[in-house]
């Protein structure tokens, strides 16, 4: 079970995907507490990082040196990417991931993220620059291609391996699909067949059942879960237990679930400060309430409450309820 990433062994090949504005340090820490082979930070734009734009440097400083954390960087020019990689390494990072999969227009419009799949020779120069700048394992996250007429992920993965990349994560959609339709896990097999390094499948993996199907169709060495962990930080551990054995996580319900959410809320407030933390916490609170079908009026009160004390006073009424699908089972 698992695979090697340079001199590091990933014992549980179930990884947390980087999600902008979601996989911050408080959430990554919570997921890791249940169990995760590797968690990936929110994307850091190399240019903004080097010029110390507020908010970017903190993303790398806070949590970069944690044992099972990978720091993801993005950019469009080799030199800033290499310098950002060196700076992140100096901060104690253990793994550096290159983003060539983000479909957002504000990213691809700057010729970063998945836009780099349209210029594979230039993408290779970025990969070579990062891999040559640090002694850490460097990984790559990308998509099947820009569109259905240019599914060049196998070629890009082959070039990346030659440049020193140690693992490739493939989201089973093209950039032009964004998040529409269904992830094509079977198409990831062509990438697996093109390289000797581990390939990890990503996209629409939300449960042990979907993870098993993704592995069967793709032949991948592991899976990466993103949206499936929203409101369910135990999901990675749940998938790992079902697929690879070991102890299943205890999924909190009733008062235990209330305590987990209250603790997460408090950590976010401490991490960001009260004003920003209150805003950031709302999305997580919404996902937690989705799990137990909190009544709409109570949900509205929590998401519009102006003060943390008001939120905390309502959590028990909002969350001490049975999950809408009943107790979570590993085969769910």
**How far, in Å, CA of 112 to CA of 116, rounded?**
6
**How far, in Å, CA of 78 to CA of 231, rounded?**
37
Detail the residues annotated as belonging to a binding site for FMN: 72, 141, 171, 226-227
Both 67 and 185 in one domain: the answer is: yes
Both 140 and 283 in one domain: the answer is: no
For the purposes of burial, counting CB atoms within 10 Å of the CB of 9, is it exposed (0-12), middle (13-18) or buried (19 or more)? exposed
**Domain end residue (candidates: 244, 267, 296):** 244
Both 158 and 197 in one domain: the answer is: yes
**Domain end residue (candidates: 244, 275, 301):** 244
**How far, in Å, CA of 81 to CA of 239, rounded?**
34
CA distances from 25 to 46, 90, 214, 239, 282 (A): 19, 19, 28, 22, 16
Both 17 and 76 in one domain: the answer is: yes
For 171-204, the DSSP string reads ESS-GGGTT-S---GGGHHHHHHH-SS-EEEESS
CA dihedral 118, 120, 124, 127 (to 10 degrees): 40
Instruction: Please measure the distance between the N-terminal and C-terminal CA atoms of the chain and give it in whole angstroms.
Output: 22
Is the separation of the CB atoms in 112 and 102 below 8 Å?
Answer: yes
Both 270 and 230 in one domain: the answer is: no
Residue 60, pLDDT score: 47
Helix residue ranges per DSSP H, the chain: 25-34, 46-50, 56-61, 78-90, 105-108, 120-133, 153-163, 188-194, 208-218, 235-244, 255-272, 274-292, 296-304, 308-319
| Percent of the chain with pLDDT strictly greater than 70 | 94
3-class DSSP assignment, residue 14: strand
Handedness of CA 16, 20, 21, 24 (dihedral sign): positive
Q: Nearest 5°: phi and psi at 86?
A: -65, -40
Both 231 and 89 in one domain: the answer is: yes
The helix (run of H) or strand (run of E) holding residue 8 is: strand 8-10
Residue 105, pLDDT score: 80
Residue 101, pLDDT score: 87
CA dihedral 91, 197, 145, 94 (to 10 degrees): -10
Both 239 and 93 in one domain: the answer is: yes
The domain tally of the chain equals 2
Both 16 and 152 in one domain: the answer is: yes
- Positions marked catalytic: 102
**How far, in Å, CA of 81 to CA of 43, rounded?**
12
Residue 52, pLDDT score: 66
Q: Which residues contact 3 (CB under 8 A, 6 or more apart)?
A: 9, 10, 13, 167, 198, 221, 222
Segments in the chain below pLDDT 70 = 52-62, 111, 326-332
Inside any domain, residue 296: yes
Residue 62, pLDDT score: 53
3-class DSSP assignment, residue 90: helix
pLDDT per residue over 222-260, tens digit each?
999 999 999 999 999 999 999 998 889 999 999 999 999
Both 143 and 237 in one domain: the answer is: yes
Inside any domain, residue 65: yes
What is the number of residues in the chain? 332
- Domain extent for 267: 255-319
CA distances from 1 to 13, 39, 270, 294 (A): 8, 18, 37, 39
Q: Nearest 5°: phi and psi at 299?
A: -60, -45
């Amino acid at each position: 079970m698992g695979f090697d990433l340079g001199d590091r062994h990933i014992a549980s090949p179930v990884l947390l995907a980087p999600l902008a504005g979601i996989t911050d340090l408080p959430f990554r820490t919570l997921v890791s507490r249940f169990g995760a082979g590797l968690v990936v930070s929110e994307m850091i734009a190399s240019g903004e990082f080097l010029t110390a734009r507020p908010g970017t440097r903190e993303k790398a400083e806070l949590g970069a040196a944690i044992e099972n954390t990978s720091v993801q960087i993005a950019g469009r020019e080799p030199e800033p990417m290499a310098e950002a990689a060196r700076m992140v390494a100096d901060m104690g990072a253990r793994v550096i991931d290159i983003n060539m999969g983000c479909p957002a227009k504000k990213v691809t419009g700057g010729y970063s993220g998945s836009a780099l799949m349209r210029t594979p020779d230039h993408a290779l120069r970025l990969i070579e620059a990062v891999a040559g700048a640090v002694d850490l394992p460097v990984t790559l996250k990308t998509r099947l291609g820009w569109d259905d007429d240019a599914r060049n992920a196998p070629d890009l993965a082959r070039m990346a391996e030659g440049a020193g990349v140690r693992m490739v994560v493939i989201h089973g959609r093209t950039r032009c699909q964004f998040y529409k339709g269904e992830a094509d896990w079977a198409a990831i097999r062509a990438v697996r067949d093109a390289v000797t390094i581990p390939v990890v499948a990503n996209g629409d993996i939300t449960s042990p059942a979907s993870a098993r199907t993704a592995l069967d169709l793709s032949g991948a060495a592991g899976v990466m879960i993103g949206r499936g962990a929203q409101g369910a930080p135990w999901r990675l551990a749940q998938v790992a237990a079902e697929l690879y054995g070991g102890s299943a996580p205890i999924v909190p319900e009733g008062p235990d679930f209330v305590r987990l959410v209250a603790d997460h809320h408090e950590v976010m407030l401490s991490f960001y400060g009260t004003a920003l933390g209150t805003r950031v916490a709302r999305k997580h609170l919404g996902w937690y309430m989705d799990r137990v079908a909190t009544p709409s009026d109570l949900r509205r009160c929590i998401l519009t409450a102006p003060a943390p004390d008001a939120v905390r006073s309502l959590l028990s009424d909002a969350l001490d309820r049975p999950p809408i699908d009943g107790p979570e089972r590993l085969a769910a």
